[in-house]
Structure 1
């Protein structure tokens, strides 16, 4: 794939502007809800839909990924990578770290292959690399072990972070920030401070909807979220905190005081997303569409099931200026 110098220059200007304003994006899984792998065309379709979201001024130009590996393969490059190159979508890369050393070695292999295959057309789009996702949360007594893996110990993550830095040394990704994504409770746990010391940034996941031991009604959601954010900042050792997952479901069971519906999702968007945007915090929302078909519960999707080109958002995405910031 060839790129003219003028197109590359334009992309560089867009990248600089987005970095100054804080990257805005969604989380994108590698599989559909029936576990079928997404193809390049599927990712392009989603990335284009995010950029065309009404009420957002085309601000959603970034994507957070969980893995570098294409579904159904051992270590082939995830099809989201060429899709991002084709659509000029910025990337927060993810390397899955909860499945053991051999699987992580495959993540590194796919990362190196992406660099060599797509060159600067790929590396210039990368805003950061996350080594793992909620691995520390999974190993805690309250964590949820699942079929994707039961977590990773701090010393294991530190080793994987070191491997990642070695893999990108002397490549187009050299100097890109290397971080980790986990729940705010994992960062608030001092036993994980050695992991924080090894990071360039902290990716924080926080969902007031699920915080059932706290006052978690939508009226308190802004305060509950920023309590989590502030706790992460205190644990960050002065490093940047990115919001890598948050949102409010449109469909789902009532969790303590938290009620899932479109009206509450709209309030959460206004109070949390709009305030983060105003403060230029890198933010990756959960999520654009929970499932293309089926009836997931809870369902955090801005779009419901179906063809994105025929759907309208479930609630308004404009920022009215009435957000309740607490940063």
Structure 2
């Protein structure tokens, strides 16, 4: 008869790594996001390349037209018969520039609708967010990994578009467009830091629209409407971003090509400022002098950088709202 030995207690050392797993690194999340969005990224790269070729070709045509006009002296005497073809070439070149600038202005809207809005809206529609958000990766960390890829893509697209728009402005203003100002809505929103930050803002608005609507098509519509509203507000606001200047020329409409005329009229001898329409059919009072209220061409880049600085908090606010909404949303 054998006597069983008493049970022995064997201590087990617990692995703290198993109890508290390390968070997934952002490098892995970025690689995952690159694989998931490789089709969108490839299409964006192709579209950006085509846009670059188009804009650079347009700028090259403008340079060629400028050289031909200078060689034939048609810049000083555009009404000569031999300058008809050159004048038509200049008109066609300027029209092509306007089309390219309009395409650059549309770039942020496309980023909002095609990159920003589907980011979360598609996950909600396909119900894949239930799987993604019940894994070991926290929701905010997963969203950050997505934003690093698609948000970084929007930053790159905005920078490329801003550089291309700056190239168009450099070859056209003020050599060919004597009666146009860079403060006008079309050229102003098509180059520089304004376009770069507007592209990132459009992406952030699209992500926010996808989080709020949870449907892809409504998110696209809301993103386009929201970005259009913000762009309209910022375009109106730009006249207040720099102090206005006032001059009293011997006659009106005597500003530099890139100056932006805000208001003009006459100053009466008693100090009142009247517009030309207020002078009436009898003309302006005797002894009145002309005045111009305007922004000078030297204020263009400070205005651009000021508007860009105002756009950055809007981007941060939109993305912060998305993060807080995701953390509080139930599956």
Q: Which has the higher contact order (CA 8 A, sep 6+)?
A: 2
TM-score category (smaller protein):
under 0.3
